[in-house]
């Protein structure tokens, strides 16, 4: 088992290095794009981008029935059978295309209603008509990326992701400069089209498989069953986020939506790149052993330990450089959201642990339980975010973020322990407490002696500790 875990650590760290590099490139491109949006469009433009993105994600997740995620599980499980894999792949592609076309038509027809829901009037109806094509591009591109991920084709997946990010930012520069707020819709469309094109370019050679619609339905019933539960769960999560964004827009201001989105993006996207990088190989690997408690249990514990050890120095660095990060990514005007970023950083550790546990629910195909956990998460999110923002502003949002993921960790661990009868390995509770303590100490020193002295005091021991542990595990 020690040799297996050493091999797994090496594999995880390799995936982390490959997709960590991809995420860094993506972040650099996002930095340029977001900086330009903040400078040339201002908080209102950033807020518009946030509202459009949130709404389109919600519609995409709902209409696609989450088959890009649920198909990964089945495709990874049948990887050893080439014929079965080819048939299932063809069925996934066919169904995803049909759902993408249906979603595009539906959004074009319902665009006035969607505009009223998100902006309070129908002034953005034509924008939603144009953005309906976004749903088709994302359906096709996302499916191809899911197929690459399930088949362990990580290098082509990485290349497709890099080309998409670079094309997105190169096209955004002239569009933002010449058209300002009018560029929001074209920028979103170009990015989605780029993902679609590059995912098709780097996809594996297609095996010709003739399938009737009846055969597609038969092959996809299992995928759709889990996908339906995942769709309900994800839609509830996205709906909760959308409700908060709309509430913020109507109750406070559109600019505050931009400030909130900036803070949330920094925590979730830029620190969360660690999660994205590891998840590329973690979920397919976990899905392959989803029927065996004995094999899943050590994998989950191992993944939590790797994630936490990697995150400890990252969070220290992130807290100390948070003000600089906000200025680089956005502009000094966005430092309003800095308390959200600072206080929310501690929640990243709980998010990492709960994220690893939540994937066990998907790997076991337990759709009903996944709905229950995600609905619980959405309710906790709204129950914390709205009152905490009203009471304490952006500082309250940061504290709410920590409490939200601490509660979500408790929920997912209860499922892991009592529904599946699995236990986390010894040392994880202590490691999680250590990680939170390091984050808390860094935040306290940040306020007491400033960011640069805190960086000098906290980063060397955190990095040394993390490197030593990971090196020994490998």
For residue 59, what are its two tokens?
């519609």
Backbone angles phi, psi at 471, to 5 degrees: -65, -40
pLDDT of residue 204: 74
Do residues 465 and 434 make contact, with C-beta atoms less than 8 angstroms apart? Answer: no
Distance (Å) of CA 281 to CA 7, 18, 102, 241, 305:
13, 11, 31, 27, 16
Cβ contacts of 276 within 8 Å, gap of 6 or more: 19, 23
| Cβ-based burial of 170 (10 A; exposed 0-12, middle 13-18, buried ≥19) | middle
pLDDT of residue 278: 66
Query: What parts of the chain have a pLDDT lower than 70?
Result: 1-21, 23, 80, 270-273, 276-279, 290-291, 473-474
Do residues 387 and 331 make contact, with C-beta atoms less than 8 angstroms apart? Answer: no
**C-alpha 397 chain-centroid distance:** 19
Give me the half-sphere count of Cα atoms (radius 13 Å) on the Cβ side of residue 295.
12
Query: Model's pTM, two decimal places?
Result: 0.74
pLDDT of residue 1: 46
Do residues 437 and 453 make contact, with C-beta atoms less than 8 angstroms apart? Answer: no
Helix/strand/coil percentages in the chain, nearest 5: 90, 0, 10
pLDDT of residue 15: 64
User: How does 235-248 read in b/e, with b if 16+ C-beta sit within 10 Å?
Assistant: bbbbbbbbbbbbeb
Q: How far apart are CA 349 and CA 114, in angstroms?
A: 36
Closest to 361 measured CA to CA, from 433, 430, 418, 427: 418
Long-range contacts of 29-32 (CB under 8 A, 24+ apart): 29/165, 29/166, 29/168, 29/169, 30/165, 30/169, 30/269, 30/329, 31/328, 31/329, 32/169, 32/172, 32/173
Backbone angles phi, psi at 81, to 5 degrees: -110, 100
Helices 125-150 & 154-179 angle (0-180, nearest 10) = 160
For residue 226, what are its two tokens?
């889990």
pLDDT of residue 19: 64
């Amino acid at each position: 088992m020690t040799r297996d875990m050493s091999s797994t650590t090496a594999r995880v760290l390799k995936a982390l290095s490959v997709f960590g590099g991809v995420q860094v490139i993506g972040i650099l491109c996002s930095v340029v794009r977001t900086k330009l949006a903040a400078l040339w469009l201002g908080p209102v433009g950033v807020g518009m981008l946030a509202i459009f993105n949130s709404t389109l994600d919600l519609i995409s997740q709902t209409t696609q029935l989450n088959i890009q995620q649920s198909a990964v599980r089945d495709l990874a499980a049948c990887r050893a059978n080439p014929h079965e894999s080819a048939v299932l792949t063809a069925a996934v592609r066919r169904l995803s295309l049909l759902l993408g076309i249906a979603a595009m038509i539906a959004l074009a027809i319902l665009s006035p209603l969607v505009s009223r829901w998100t902006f309070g009037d129908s002034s953005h109806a034509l924008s939603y008509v144009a953005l309906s094509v976004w749903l088709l591009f994302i359906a096709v591109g996302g499916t191809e990326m899911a197929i690459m991920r399930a088949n362990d084709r990580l290098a082509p997946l990485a290349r497709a992701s890099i080309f998409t990010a670079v094309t997105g930012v190169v096209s955004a520069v002239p569009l933002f400069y010449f058209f300002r707020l009018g560029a929001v819709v074209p920028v979103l469309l170009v990015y989605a089209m780029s993902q679609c094109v590059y995912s098709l370019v780097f996809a594996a050679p297609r095996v010709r498989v003739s399938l009737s619609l009846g055969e597609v339905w038969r092959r996809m019933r299992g995928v759709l069953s889990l996908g339906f539960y995942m769709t309900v769960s994800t839609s509830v999560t996205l709906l909760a986020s959308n409700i908060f964004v709309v509430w913020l827009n109507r109750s406070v201001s559109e600019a505050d939506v931009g400030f909130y989105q900036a803070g949330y993006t920094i925590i979730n996207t830029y620190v969360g790149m660690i999660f994205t990088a590891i998840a590329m190989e973690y979920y397919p690997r976990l899905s392959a052993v989803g029927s065996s408690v004995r094999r899943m249990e050590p994998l989950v514990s191992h993944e939590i330990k790797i994630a936490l050890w990697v995150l400890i120095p990252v969070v220290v660095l992130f807290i100390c450089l948070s003000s600089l990060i906000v200025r680089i990514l956005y502009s000094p005007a966005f430092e309003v959201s800095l308390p959200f970023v600072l206080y929310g950083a501690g929640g990243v550790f709980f998010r990492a642990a709960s994220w690893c546990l939540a994937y066990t629910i998907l790997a076991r195909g337990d759709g009903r339980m996944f709905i229950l956990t995600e609905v619980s998460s959405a309710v906790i999110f709204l129950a914390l975010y709205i009152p905490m923002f009203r009471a304490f502003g952006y500082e309250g949002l940061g504290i709410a973020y920590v409490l939200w993921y601490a509660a979500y960790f408790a929920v997912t661990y209860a499922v892991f322990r009592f529904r599946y009868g699995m236990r986390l390995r010894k040392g994880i509770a202590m490691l999680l407490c250590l990680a939170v303590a390091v984050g808390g100490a860094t935040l306290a020193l940040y306020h007491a002696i400033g960011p640069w002295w805190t960086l000098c005091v906290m980063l060397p021991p955190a990095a040394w500790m993390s490197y030593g542990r990971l090196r020994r595990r490998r």
